[in-house]
Amino acid sequence: MNILVTGGMGFIGSHTVVELHNSGYTPIIVDNLSNSDKTVLNGLEKITGQLFKFYEVDCNDNRAMESVFKENPIDGAIHFAASKAVGESVEKPLFYYQNNVGSLLVLMELMEKYHAPRLIFSSSCTVYGEPDFLPVTELSEKKPAESPYGNTKQICEEIIEDATRASKRIRAIALRYFNPIGAHPSSLIGELPLGVPSNLVPFITQSAIGLRGPLAIHGSDYNTPDGTCIRDYIHVVDLAKAHVASLQYLSGNAQCDFDIFNIGTGQGNSVLEVVETFKKVNECSLNYAIGPRRPGDVEKVFGDVAKSRRLLGWQTELSLEDSLRDAWNWQLSLSRKS
């Protein structure tokens, strides 16, 4: 199967390309390189021994995207391409709606036109907003989003559900995943944020190696054991494998038109727990400073992943310690290259 991977040069996308290849699929990468780098292709080739097709294309560019479909028979798509910084989405909501919702519409119209029947959508636990009960299940109420980014994920899920209900040409799964961290154990690919990182772990690693000042912790007065936000942190390799499992599920279950799965570890860790675990497993120091809360941040969220285990036959294999060790080794490899 040829699988179109939009945003395939990014953090999660690149790791998913590896796992697709390992499972016998042929990934075709589309990425506009707005938050990634072409050197990722080198890492992918070293890991897999394969040079993948790559199109430097913006998913909102209908004509350029159609050329990809014309040149390649597409059996399915995994749609990662989206802007994803919560804080930035609060500042630039119109850009987020145009980019995240618009790109999905372009992709699905082309999938319909060219008979590409399988879609795996990169959704997020942000659709749960500030949940009333934990852990959240796939049946938990979708609360009003805390940020425009979160709202784009809610809207995109609704678009996919409506489209798959109306059309028998596309079947889809939305993966609501939690907080991906870590890097490939080879240290050949990993998270490569451009500019100041918006995610916790790359900021930790860049601070620890001296590229940045003290880590900024956004708020210490939340209703959690240590006052800092709680998230479900999942190793990116485990997350990548969930996309492969979802493709296999769609291929083997013709009755599934649309379904939703939580993808996480099933437990939460606070920001300070992540900091202390990072220091312990990597035997290094880390300075941090407590600051005010950040607009759009949810206090605590982690998921029930029983449905993913039962139907997809998938579960996490790597620990928080594994994730933070791999993230640090990736940062060290970047420093050796520079």
Mean pLDDT of 20-26: 98
Average pLDDT, the chain: 95
Q: What are 253-279's pLDDT values in tens digits? A: 989 999 999 999 999 999 999 999 999
Tell me if 330 is assigned to some domain: no
Can 96 be counted among the known catalytic residues? Answer: no
Q: How confident is the model at residue 53 (pLDDT cuts 50, 70, 90)?
A: very high
Mean pLDDT of 228-243: 98
Domain total of the chain: 1
H helical segments located in the chain: 11-22, 40-48, 62-71, 86-91, 93-96, 102-113, 148-166, 200-208, 236-252, 271-282, 306-307, 320-337
Tell me if 127 is assigned to some domain: yes
Tell me if 186 is assigned to some domain: no
Tokens read off for 119: 């879609």
The per-residue pLDDT for 146 is 78
* Residue 118, domain CATH: 3.40.50.720
Res. 1: pLDDT tops 80? yes
Tell me if 207 is assigned to some domain: no
The per-residue pLDDT for 59 is 98
Q: What percent of the chain has pLDDT over 90?
A: 87
Query: Against a cut of 0.85, is the pTM above it?
Result: yes
The per-residue pLDDT for 336 is 87
Tell me if 83 is assigned to some domain: yes
Res. 296: pLDDT tops 80? no
**What's the sign of the alpha-carbon dihedral 285, 290, 295, 298?**
positive
Tell me if 199 is assigned to some domain: no
Tell me if 202 is assigned to some domain: no
Q: Which domain holds residue 97?
A: 2-181+234-266+302-317
Res. 338: pLDDT tops 70? no
Tokens read off for 124: 């997020």
Q: Which of 55, 96, 149, 233 is catalytic?
A: 149
Q: What are 125-168's pLDDT values in tens digits? A: 989 988 999 999 999 999 888 789 989 999 999 999 999 999 88
Give the C-alpha separation, 51 to 329, whole Å: 24
Tell me if 248 is assigned to some domain: yes
